[in-house]
Structure 1
């Protein structure tokens, strides 16, 4: 079925044109139509590529796809971390930070329980568990980094994304509905007594036209390229110089010499030192997010529909269990520590869907005072998601 695709694997420019165009089209649809916004641009991008590959129009293997994994994803990570000033997070949003970290624990517990129940039925679930831990603490950038780190097979990555985005669509509906339930109104504190729902598309509202200069683009790319180059060089040096004489040293080197963890750490340090510069640097969010959309196109390419039909139902259950535990633990401890329902739901949303969707939820519900803080807190997930996801991956692998 996949042999001799209409477009040859070495048609570099043509394949790049297709990848970038699908990413652009998915963003347009997400911001233009309400139904596409609910589906999310990520799954639209994935399905678009999956259709082309299953119709044998584009090849399932190509050096172009390798370039996305090897260059596009590493560049996206620092670009999306340029807003992650840990000092500002602690100073301005420590209340939301506390409930966000509790929600992160809910993700870890959910992954552990789901893995315990399903690891005998889903292949390489330790790798998927690592990816989903990072994704449900940070977002798509962590998912991309961890799927690369643990070398998860492309068809399983695609099936996981389908399950993730499908369940997330329902989860967002739950988050939007919960504040209006009588039980919630009775038992939880509320910051906002009125629901001032805004009209329009959430994605379009968040990604409104921004003032971006040529200098912003130049600085963003120059710094991102430099951080990737330095981090990957340090990783290469650590792995070649530090001996792996025993299992402990092997694990230690795999952590301290990990390309993506070094990249995350170095970016975080640079942003903290030069916080004022990065606060005034526009374009990095937009550039990084667009690169992630290209990633979603690529992971849709090798998706075999029969494999997804066979694997995805169990992955739906796996993802649903994680979200159930995340929300249950966030609500329980939020109630215990007397958090407002708005803070609780936004913290859970920022974990599961990242800062962008959390901000969109706040905007759509009229919780405007929480838009800025949840964006700051949500970006912290980019930072810690890789660390926690990596540790979960190594831990769960012992049971496979």
Structure 2
């Protein structure tokens, strides 16, 4: 049964991509949502029992592999040159996530000993993505049950917010925020990658090289950590992997590899299916209600603060919503949200900012967690 489960994790993303190409509803939802939903449905089917250990192992392998693959195509040199409203709104979203997680976790510090770890994990997921939350949880040695419950609650809250983004978010915020104008964005940079559905045989060689390089970076991160610390520590290893991924992306030869971003997305989709399979609603009972409230409060406050800050600084609605999507969901849902906004000009910048969040999430999350522990005198 475990072999079938792992095989499902590996192959369903291909079906999700194909469905997105053929069916309008699937295209709107996107492969990430479909993969999470598939794992979620399997985990909650009556009479079906999945191996949580297998799901965790797949996710733990996928996280370090996906990070460098996604970063190879990131044009780091472009980040400081993005249009000023986008950079400001993205920075505000990061600050809002830190403030929300810090203030809410401080209120919950008497409820759980892992309050500061949870704050760091939530900053990671609401600046970068679920992969960052998993990485930070490993670094801080959070209980696996805590991560599973946080992931389940985040899926539920994130689904509600995504529905809001895809429906009436733009119309609602236009009542008190400026509309998007092209003149405020003099330099919009397109993401160098291609669409996930465009894989051809021509991509295979470059994707093979990129995958090999990602494996090498992971090996350096893991091996270097074991060599220096004489044991495997997730924290140093993942920080090394993230830093090396950013550094290697500066190479023109690596940056020119075709299909590495798409391959990284595929690995991330495998991660999404595995994470969805850990979201067993039967676990959301009793004491877990506190963690659900924790997640909803942090996410809701982060969104409200980000929108409020952007409105005060007169950032336009579309830039605000795209930056919110880039930080809370990562690059994968930029396409569906910009399509709902009817603003394809922000696709490239949104993807770039999503990758920036992926790179920053680990650093900001760990800094938040350790800072809160220091403030508490721990």
The answer to whether TM tops 0.5 is yes
Structure 2 distance, partners of 1:46, 1:300, is 4
Q: Does 1:271 align with 2:260?
A: no
How many residues align? The count is 361
- Given that 1:81 and 1:267 are in contact with CA atoms closer than 8 Å, whether structure 2 keeps it comes out as yes
Alignment correspondent of 2:239: 261
**CA separation of 1:169 and 1:51: change in aligned 2, threshold 3 A:** closer
Give the deviation of 1:128 after TM superposition. 2.7
Alignment correspondent of 2:170: 179
Q: Does 1:380 align with 2:356?
A: yes
Further displaced range: 328-337 or 19-28: 19-28
Q: Residue 237 of structure 1: SS of its match in structure 2? A: helix
Q: Does 1:291 align with 2:289?
A: no
Give the deviation of 1:29 after TM superposition. 5.9
**CA separation of 1:281 and 1:163: change in aligned 2, threshold 3 A:** same
Provide the TM-score with structure 2 as the length reference. Answer: 0.82
Provide the TM-score with structure 1 as the length reference. Answer: 0.78
What's the RMSD between the two structures over aligned residues?
A: 3.3
Query: 135, 140, 144: which is aligned to 2:134?
Result: 144
Query: 362, 371, 376: which is aligned to 1:395?
Result: 371
Structure 2 distance, partners of 1:384, 1:259, is 16
- Given that 2:152 and 2:278 are in contact with CA atoms closer than 8 Å, whether structure 1 keeps it comes out as no
Alignment correspondent of 1:364: 340
Alignment correspondent of 1:209: 198
Q: Any unmatched runs of 5+ in structure 2?
A: 183-193
Q: Residue 330 of structure 2: SS of its match in structure 1? A: helix
Give the deviation of 1:98 after TM superposition. 2.4
Give the deviation of 1:375 after TM superposition. 1.2
Structure 2 distance, partners of 1:81, 1:287, is 11
Larger radius of gyration: 1
Give the deviation of 1:221 after TM superposition. 0.7
Q: Does 1:37 align with 2:29?
A: yes
Q: For 1:70-219, what aligned pairs fall within 5 Å after superposition?
A: 70-122=60-112, 124-176=114-166, 177-181=168-172, 184-191=174-181, 207-210=196-199, 213-219=203-209
What does the per-residue CA deviation read over 1:324-381, in whole Å, with 9 as the maximum and x for residues that have no partner? 3322332233233332111111111211111221332112322111111111122100
Q: Does 1:239 align with 2:202?
A: no
What does the per-residue CA deviation read over 1:233-262, in whole Å, with 9 as the maximum and x for residues that have no partner? 222233249xxxxxxxxxxxx89x711111
What does the per-residue CA deviation read over 1:53-96, in whole Å, with 9 as the maximum and x for residues that have no partner? x73544444xx556525533211111111122321111244541
**CA separation of 1:281 and 1:178: change in aligned 2, threshold 3 A:** same
Q: Does 1:55 align with 2:31?
A: no
Structure 2 distance, partners of 1:67, 1:123, is 25
Q: Any unmatched runs of 5+ in structure 1?
A: 1-6, 193-204, 242-253
Structure 2 distance, partners of 1:313, 1:26, is 31
Structure 2 distance, partners of 1:222, 1:327, is 38
Give the deviation of 1:30 after TM superposition. 6.5
Structure 2 distance, partners of 1:59, 1:340, is 46
**CA separation of 1:316 and 1:15: change in aligned 2, threshold 3 A:** closer
